[in-house]
Amino acid sequence: MSNLKQLAEITRLPILTVYQALEGQASVTAAVRQQVQTAATSLDYTLNITIRDVAALADVSVGTVSHVLNGNTRTRPETRQRVLQAINDLNYRPNSMARGLKSNHTRLIGYGWHKTEDPGRPNALLDRFLYDMAQAAEAWGYHILTFAQPSQISLKRYDELIQTTRIDGLVLTDINYHDERVRYLLKSGVPFVAFGHTNEDWDFPSVEVDGRLGMKLAVEHLIARGHERIGLLCWPEGMRIGDVRVQGYIDVLAAAGIPLYKPWIVRIRNSVDHAFLATQQLLAAHPRPTAIACTNDVMALGVKRYLNQIGLEAGIDVAITGYDDTPIAELVELTSIRQPIDMVAAKVIEILIGEIEGKPVPRRNILLEPTLVVRASSRTQR
């Protein structure tokens, strides 16, 4: 294989002309295009602009081109200008793999997630989160590599990606107490940042949205609307994300001087059907709650469905709040708690790139605040 310069020598044409001829640009006459084509064919050359072509056109060494590319050493403005011009003329883009091979990084961030059988899992927000991460990463010259994480968490996937130098770091979501991925990554020293956290005694970079505050907002809102008998639908114990939200409920009631009433707290699996049944149970309690807070939107939907079935209306007869403000919440006019996903994504990326590039940011653990979005399901004053 040859390069542009050789072609230029053979055809006795300027390098730039050769390039333009190969690109089929109209600025070059058909005759010249033909001539260059022939020469290229005979040399078995296919157009592929490298740093060497740029160097040849700018009449400098490849080292100099690399320098202006990376803004390292100062280059004489005039030289720099020539190089930039050549880069522009040839529409040159550095080969990411050659770059990576040399400098041993990929500028790729891995993100794996589960298939969500269960439409209500936190990653119903995945679309937004992933998009926002991709966007944030691009500003730093990074991209996101997504991979499928089988529901039975397999460290093998992570190991593979790391060992093959596919990625520089990882983003973790849906983590829980003693998450084995966190344990593994901590041990192997691979840069990563988690959306959420595990047990407090593990130290690793993370971005969290304050779940206790979120639930607090929801329940305070219900109280402000005149409710005092407030039920809670929550996930089974043992999930950090759920436990934190339940704590918010407990806190607010305590602060308001409303005693906790056990029959009003129902722990269920995350589905519309379970929530439907739980609502039936809740409304059979004595006294019956006038409002129901849920640890996520899916459960709230189940509540709503049961209410409809027995002829009650959400927001009028019984107030409901969901959590996560998934798109569905807006569609069915459900009051919910919104997480600042774009902020989470931006922070996750910022912290991760700090870890990757060996310049850790000062605050590696961020706690963001959710906000309350009031809709018809709880708007009415009691």
Partner DNA sequence: ATGAAAGCGCTAACAT
Partner DNA sequence: ATGTTAGCGCTTTCAT
User: Can you give the binding site for DNA, defined by CB under 7 A?
Assistant: 1, 48, 50-52, 59-67, 69-70, 72-76, 78-80, 92-95, 98-99, 101-104
Rounded-to-integer distance, Cα 269 and Cα 362, Å:
39
Give 145 or 277: the residue with its C-beta nearer to its own copies: 145
Strands (E), the chain: 108-113, 143-148, 169-172, 192-195, 206-209, 230-234, 265-267, 291-294, 319-321, 336-338, 365-368, 371-373
User: Is the separation of the CB atoms in 211 and 344 below 8 Å?
Assistant: no
Tell me the window of 80-88, 160-168, 223-231, 234-242 that interacts with its own copies (CB under 8 A). 160-168
The residue (of 5 and 143) whose beta carbon lies closer to its own copies is 143
Q: Which does 163 bind (CB under 5 to 8 A by kind): DNA, its own copies, none?
A: its own copies
Residue 34 binds which entry of DNA, its own copies, none, with Cβ cut-offs from 5 to 8 Å by kind? none
Residue with tokens 């605040």: 369
Q: How far apart are CA 343 and CA 99, in angstroms?
A: 30
Least distance from its own copies to the Cβ atom of residue 75, Å: 22
- Taking the complex as a whole, how short is the minimal distance between the CB of residue 81 and DNA, in angstroms? 10
Output the smallest distance, CB 78 to DNA, in A: 6
Q: Please say whether the beta carbons of 318 and 279 come within 8 A.
A: no
The number of helices, as runs of H, and strands, as runs of E, in the chain is 16, 12
**Strand pairing class (336-338; 371-373):** antiparallel
Q: Which does 305 bind (CB under 5 to 8 A by kind): DNA, its own copies, none?
A: its own copies
- Dihedral angle at the C-alpha atoms of 209, 210, 211, 212, nearest 10 degrees? 180
256, HSE (Cβ side, Cα atoms, 13 Å):
22
**CB of 229: closest distance to its own copies in angstroms?**
26
- From DNA, its own copies, none, which one binds at residue 76 (CB under 5 to 8 Å depending on kind)? DNA
Residue in 85, 151, 91 with CA at minimum distance from that of residue 117? 151
Based on the shown chain and the rule CB under 8 A, indicate whether residue 327 belongs to the binding site for its own copies.
yes
CB under 5 to 8 A by kind: which of DNA, its own copies, none does 310 bind? none
Supply the minimum distance, in Å, between the C-beta of residue 134 and its own copies. Answer: 4
Site for its own copies contains 269 (CB under 8 A):
no
Q: Determine, following the binding rule CB under 8 A, whether residue 354 of this chain makes contact with its own copies.
A: no
**Binding region for its own copies (CB under 8 A):** 91, 93-98, 100-101, 106, 108, 113, 115-116, 119, 123-124, 126-128, 130-132, 134-135, 138, 143-148, 160, 163-166, 272, 298, 301, 305, 327-328, 330-333
